[in-house]
Amino acid sequence: MINICLLTVIMLFSIGCGEPTLDTTSAETLDQSTEAMFQTLPKAKQDEFIDAMCAIATSHMADILKVRDSEEKEHALITKIFHGKTASQIIADGAVADEKIKKATPQQALFMGRMQNQLKQKMIKELGVGVKP
């Protein structure tokens, strides 16, 4: 009996101690979960997180532009890309996205770089941090 109780306590404790994830069920929950996740990160990881979010969004820019006329389709795409991901997963996905951006043609890379910079400035403003671009 003691073993079952101990196992239950350990399971409940481990469930509550997981790394925060993004919740994309609505624009409001996305904003809230992004900010909460950002605040839990050490200062050194905050820059990486912002860079990763922007790189991922930039690498999906063609898809985002295709669905921008439909809020429902845009939400579905954002959900597909980000929902349930932890900061560690986002930072890892950001590294993959950076590689994709590096493989673009020079003209595409210039456009993507500008877009990434604009996204970064917007995130910095929304998160209220003093991160340099």
Model confidence pLDDT, tens digit, residues 68-87: 888 899 889 989 999 999 99
> How many Cα atoms within 13 Å fall on the side-chain side of residue 72?
0
Residue ranges of the domains in the chain?
21-127
Question: What is the pLDDT averaged over residues 108-120?
Answer: 85
User: What is the model's pTM?
Assistant: 0.75
The partner residues of 21 in beta bridges, in order of sequence, read 86
> Burial of 48 by CB count in 10 Å (0-12 exposed, 13-18 middle, 19+ buried)?
middle
* Cα-to-chain-centroid distance, residue 13: 26
